[in-house]
Amino acid sequence: MDDPAVLQLRRRVDDVDRALVHLLGERRRLVLALGTLKEREDLDVLQPAREAEMAVDRAAWAAQEGLEPAFVADLFQRIVAESRRLQLERRA
């Protein structure tokens, strides 16, 4: 039998994971709306200056939370790559 304290913490971890997935869904919706605006304004999906700015900001946020900046950078590289994929797919 698992310790009640362990079970409680696992439930809290599950709640945080659910919230993260919800936020990723919200981010997806925003990115798709942004992609529509970019297409309307004839802007490229790939925005290197914006992505560089985002990388710096996310690394700082990671450090503030006591997280390894490289971990957060890897995570956001995947998120941004998916955002680009969604926007390009929408244009096809």
pTM of the model: 0.89
Q: Distance of CA 38 to CAs 21, 29, 62, Å?
A: 25, 14, 29
Q: What pLDDT score was predicted for residue 92?
A: 83
Total number of domains in the chain? 1
**Domain interval for residue 80:** 4-91
Alpha carbon dihedral 60, 63, 68, 69, in 10-degree steps, equals: 10
The model's pLDDT over 42-53, given as tens digits with 9 standing for 90+, comes to 999 999 999 999
Tell me how far apart the alpha carbons of residues 78 and 2 are, in angstroms, rounded to a whole number.
35
Residue 50 is part of a domain; what is its CATH number? 1.20.59.10
